[in-house]
Chains A and B, each alone.
Chain A
């Protein structure tokens, strides 16, 4: 049988450098192939090359791409006719992949108008049917809505609907769910693979996430720095990787560590009692501004040395609770106790005492480090307070700390000269240099590649064991939780819906919401 897609010794160059180097693979009709790799592996460039949409700066540099046996020439009229009914593509970023200036009905219909002879009424009917299929309620009136009226997950469904409307023989999905939270991610992936099966569409799935591969691909091709590392049927490849790099990727999937004995009954280090955080919604004209309650009457105690994972989907209020427990956002009601003392109303020197004992690691190391400061100055900065330590001593300690997080000798660099993982190490060093008693890690490893995430997580765990700080680990990813948490707290809609020791919550979840989160979590296959 002629493969739908055949890529032969494809190379892609960026300037003088090859980002894809001699890559070959084929996809049979109806088959799902996953291209797996970390950032910089060239997987996205490959996907874009197939549909002839390489971004400026990248150019094909030899090799051939054949679609249903016929060579694809870049920028030809034939390729343009093929785009849509032959090859469809779903993009990563739902917020920018629909045109904000046009109603979604018009955007969906455009492909049908270009490639079919359907009448406007028939086109409209197909759009409505497809929107209904992807789970948009009241599709007929939603056709008139603009993209900004939908959430990210909904936009990704609409995107999928608009692409599948043309029943392409090949669907390219470039990290289609990376920007979505765990629950939405699972829904969109299910929908996509279901639609592909229904229409007999072959799938080229580009992803960094081995968990997705296990569930949604027939075969997988692992890429590293532009070259194929290993290729084969998905399940055996994951269970039994032959190449070292593949093994590293598989090992990077979260794995549950042994449970630590529960901390001896001690007084809580930090405790929220009935904490509420509210924001005024921006009101429309002549309408009273509504109050949005992000955290709703939450009570949570964290004991010294304990690692508590705070889990929930987007909009669950977990991030806000994390900030509120550091008093980085003001609470509207309830109390915050630190070592048994109320800190809710503290200011000035008393607040400083609290600040000195607490720290935070942010999700995005790109924006949490001041780009104008050298790494060593960033790490030395916390030692300004309490006042009194001489500058030389601060810098010495910063160097020691950098050494500890594996960045010895990089102190003179600026953040932009470091990789994402290194930056997050800097952020961790900054948080720990003052030996805090309590650290909030806000999605601290979510933005990192799998292998890097594994290393940073290991660093964080090792430091926690050694320094013994209490940690509130805010995350949407239950996989990460398995590795690090002693206790799990699940939030939904601003409230805590379930909490308990890690193994109890993971093995016997009491709430539907927790079960849904668990089902959606991409964990090590077979565990």
Chain B
């Protein structure tokens, strides 16, 4: 019953953010990185929809540019985390035995760090850069993916239709590909959605701390950080980027709920 509004609102919000990013690829009202010190902190006007920042850059253009950065970083990170996590999780769940034990110990150790802390530690090594962020966050979140994948492989292995396949004489490899793997798709899809949200949030947080994508490139996080000293004079400078992050996260969360309801009919009211 609640499924439709979730899907509709979530899809609209996220669609809006993606549309903004897509538009930014071809057009922004102003050059998002060009400074103009004579036009610092101007209030919103027809020319500058959301005003300008402390360097006279157009806030609206930077927000659009930030959408491109955030979404592309998040998408690449999710791919890295999924590829790594699924490889580890499938290997552990399929092979079991010592492979599983060793991978499990490494995985559990990494899970003993809060994800963002692990990313901070990795960034200390990798240095702040776009690909540093992708790699650090990807590595930080891969263990969660691995755990979900391994868990669902292990539980599906115990289902009777897998035993039935073995009883038919099918090889282990065939059984895993035909009967086990397709069933991990649902939990992984749900996880990937949440992951996308976590990464958007983490990337903004790291950029806010100055450890993310380095300036002058615009990200929502570093826009927020540089707006802080001017909060009193230009509150919109702080409000606008945060509103974009919140819109994006709300869209992801609602869409995630809708997906969970769709893929797990047990909870569908």
**Cα distance A324–B166 in the bound complex, in angstroms:** 13
- CB-based contact A355/B167 at 8 Å: yes
B30 at the interface (CB under 8 A from A): no
- CB-based contact B169/A369 at 8 Å: no
**Cα distance A352–B168 in the bound complex, in angstroms:** 9
Number of interface residues of A (CB under 8 A): 24
B267 at the interface (CB under 8 A from A): no
- CB-based contact A326/B167 at 8 Å: yes
Q: A367-B160, A369-B161, A370-B161 are in contact. Are A360 and B167 (CB under 8 A)?
A: yes
- CB-based contact B170/A384 at 8 Å: yes
Q: A367-B159, A370-B179, A372-B183 are in contact. Are A355 and B169 (CB under 8 A)?
A: yes
Q: Which of B159, B164, B165 has the most CB of A within 10 A?
A: B164
A67 at the interface (CB under 8 A from B): no
> Which residue of A has the minimal Cβ distance to B158?
A367
Given A368, A385, A434, which contacts B164 in the complex, CB threshold below 8 Å? A368
- CB-based contact A328/B167 at 8 Å: yes
**Cα distance A368–B161 in the bound complex, in angstroms:** 4
Number of interface residues of B (CB under 8 A): 15
**Cα distance A434–B159 in the bound complex, in angstroms:** 23
B31 at the interface (CB under 8 A from A): no
Complex interface: chain B residues within 8 A of A64 (CB): none
Q: A372-B183, A385-B169 are in contact. Are A430 and B164 (CB under 8 A)?
A: yes
Complex interface: chain B residues within 8 A of A355 (CB): 167-169
User: What's the minimum C-beta distance from A330 to chain B, rounded to whole angstroms?
Assistant: 12
Mark each residue of chain A from 287 to 329: 1 if its CB lies under 8 Å from any CB of chain B, else 0.
Answer: 0000000000000000000000000000000000000001010
Mark each residue of chain B from 181 to 210: 1 if its CB lies under 8 Å from any CB of chain A, else 0.
Answer: 011000000000000000000000000000
User: What's the minimum C-beta distance from A59 to chain B, rounded to whole angstroms?
Assistant: 15
**Cα distance A135–B191 in the bound complex, in angstroms:** 49
- CB-based contact A362/B182 at 8 Å: no
A381 at the interface (CB under 8 A from B): yes
Complex interface: chain A residues within 8 A of B178 (CB): 370
Given A328, A367, A382, which contacts B166 in the complex, CB threshold below 8 Å? A328
B108 at the interface (CB under 8 A from A): no
A491 at the interface (CB under 8 A from B): no
B163 at the interface (CB under 8 A from A): yes
A364 at the interface (CB under 8 A from B): yes
Complex interface: chain A residues within 8 A of B164 (CB): 360, 362, 368-369, 427, 430
User: What's the minimum C-beta distance from A252 to chain B, rounded to whole angstroms?
Assistant: 26
Given B160, B161, B167, B170, which contacts A359 in the complex, CB threshold below 8 Å? B167
> Which residue of B has the minimal Cβ distance to A363?
B160
> Which residue of B has the minimal Cβ distance to A359?
B167
**Cα distance A162–B159 in the bound complex, in angstroms:** 36
> Which residue of B has the minimal Cβ distance to A365?
B160
Q: A364-B160, A367-B160, A368-B161 are in contact. Are A358 and B167 (CB under 8 A)?
A: yes
User: What's the minimum C-beta distance from A376 to chain B, rounded to whole angstroms?
Assistant: 15
Complex interface: chain B residues within 8 A of A430 (CB): 164, 168
- CB-based contact A352/B169 at 8 Å: yes
14 A-B pairs, CB-CB below 8 angstroms? Answer: A328-B167, A355-B167, A359-B167, A360-B163, A360-B164, A362-B163, A364-B160, A368-B163, A368-B164, A370-B165, A370-B178, A381-B168, A381-B170, A384-B170
- List 12 extra interface pairs beyond A362-B164, A370-B165, CB under 8 A: A326-B167, A328-B163, A351-B169, A358-B167, A367-B159, A368-B163, A369-B161, A370-B178, A372-B182, A382-B168, A385-B170, A430-B168
